[in-house]
Amino acid sequence: MEGDRIEEVTLVHSPVDEISHLALDIGGSLIKMVYFSTSREQPIDKTQNNSSRDSHGGVSRGSKDGRLLNGRLYFLKFETSKINECLDFISSKQLHYRGHQHCGFPASDKNIIKATGGGAFKFADLFKEKLGISLDKVEEMSSLVSGANFLLKAVPSEAFTYVNGQRNYVQIDHNDLYPYLLVNIGSGVSMIKVDGDGKYERVSGTSVGGGTFWGLGKLLTKCKSFDDLLEMSHQGNNRVIDMLVGDIYGGMDYLKIGLSSTAIASSFGKAVSENRELEEYRPEDVARSLLRMISNNIGQIAYLNALRFGLKKIFFGGFFIRGHAYTMDTISVAVDFWSKGEAKAMFLRHEGFLGALGAFMNYQLVEEFPDSIRLMGEKTRDPLVGDLTDNGVIECCVQASN
Ligand SMILES: Nc1ncnc2c1ncn2[C@@H]1O[C@H](COP(=O)(O)OP(=O)(O)OP(=O)(O)O)[C@@H](O)[C@H]1O
Ligand SMILES: CC(C)(CO)[C@@H](O)C(=O)NCCC(=O)O
């Protein structure tokens, strides 16, 4: 577990915080958790002349559509294989009890929490037995889509391209967002054509995804954590193991079919002829080749699906990416190469939390106001550095109907 990180985040809590609306995305590798909390310690924004404290301390402002509440959205993750740590966390913070009737939200049933991902089925009995919690299941693809639509519409500077080591933030035109392809790279990969709010179709998928990178990487490099594997890949050189076009063509390009001498002709192909044992390769180089192989493959399949449906925008999410430069660069180059510059790979700052946010959005509080939660991380920090590739917390404003 990322226990130390979780403590960092939870220390931000004060004992008098009002917590409400916990949502979970229980995936094959990771459990993602999102919950909202208002804080009594929170300073009132004096510039808002119609502000007032609600009875629970969160700032609330009346509006003709409902109530605006300032607070924090907390984002945490746990390893699914250590689900007990997640259960202990919920139990120790009493996340399933606290604040359900508070914060000015419509009351939600005590001990029922929204949950998506396969684990909402697999672990339903465990949640019931250990915590007395019933999981209200939200369909996984629909959660990913509502999470992505919400982020793209409500969060400024959410999406960015990654070209030549440079992030370029994309202004989303709300009237020109659809259709797009959402590629969620979790343990496995889902590719979803999104045509509007609640309008989507899962058009493809591949089992060669984040779980493959982490699983093969663990076996081949003996590294102990995903972050170590990523760090290793950063230090490595894939040319040691990958067979390049130049290796086959005597150092020459094969421009007739658009391949430079440095293009990979065969991932891991050099390992065949060299007769070296695994131990004779640097783990860094192995990690690099592996990351390149998987990112390239996903980029290529994504492009083919975009082509299939004439989609120009491809958004990549899921915790495989982790804001990692080399991963994003490889995916971007693959999409650019195959589409001859026609399609664009874009990444999301809250990449890993689409499903959990989607499940959170499923609470009735946002039913009438689908775009009404505004994440305002920029109030407290530079939005351009405020990625959520790990646990984190962001200031936000929630509109609740009551
Ligand atoms: N700390 C971590 N521990 C394990 N995997 C991690 C970690 N950080 C990033 N990853 C990567 O993220 C992937 C899981 O991503 P994500 O949480 O989006 O999917 P998931 O919901 O678990 O999977 P699925 O949707 O297929 O059930 C892992 O397979 C791994 O590649
Ligand atoms: C099975 C899910 C949807 C579970 O999240 C995911 O792991 C996935 O999309 N896997 C790829 C399966 C396939 O389409 O081949």
**Has this prediction a pTM greater than 0.80?**
yes
Q: Do residues 282 and 220 touch, judged by C-beta distance below 8 A?
A: no
Cα–Cα distance, 234 to 176 (Å, whole number): 36
**What are the tokens at 234?**
């950063």
> Tokens 């004779």 — which residue?
280
Query: What would the CATH number be for the domain defined by 159-241+281-348?
Result: 3.30.420.40
Nearest ligand atom owner, CA of 320 = 1
How far apart are the CA of 125 and the centre of ligand 2, in A?
A: 23
Phi, psi of 234 (to 5 degrees): -65, -35
Question: Which residue type occupies 323?
Answer: G
Residue whose Cα lies nearest atom 1 of ligand 2: it is 188
pLDDT tens, the chain, 402 aa long: 333 233 333 324 444 456 678 999 999 999 999 988 875 444 334 334 333 433 333 434 444 455 666 778 889 999 999 999 999 999 988 787 644 444 444 445 668 999 999 999 999 999 999 999 999 999 999 999 999 998 998 887 899 999 999 999 999 998 999 999 999 999 999 999 999 999 999 999 999 999 999 999 999 999 999 999 999 999 999 999 999 999 999 999 999 999 999 999 999 999 998 889 999 999 999 999 999 999 999 999 999 999 999 999 999 999 999 999 999 999 999 999 999 999 999 999 999 999 999 999 888 654 444 455 555 443 333 333 345 666 777 666 665 544
Residue whose Cα lies nearest atom 15 of ligand 2: it is 206
pLDDT value at position 8?
A: 31
With a Cβ cut-off of 6 Å, ligand 2 is lined by 27-28, 118, 140, 186-190, 205-207
Domains 8-142+352-399 and 159-241+281-348 share a fold: yes
User: Which homologous superfamily does the CATH classification assign to the domain defined by 8-142+352-399?
Assistant: ATPase, nucleotide binding domain (3.30.420.40)
Q: Do residues 104 and 8 touch, judged by C-beta distance below 8 A?
A: no
Q: Say what the ipTM of the complex is.
A: 0.99
How far apart are the CA of 309 and the centre of ligand 2, in A?
A: 20
How far apart are the CA of 188 and the centre of ligand 1, in A?
A: 9
Q: Where are the domains of the chain?
A: 8-142+352-399, 159-241+281-348
Residue whose Cα lies nearest atom 3 of ligand 2: it is 190
8-state DSSP, 45: -
Cα–Cα distance, 280 to 191 (Å, whole number): 37
Cα–Cα distance, 231 to 225 (Å, whole number): 10
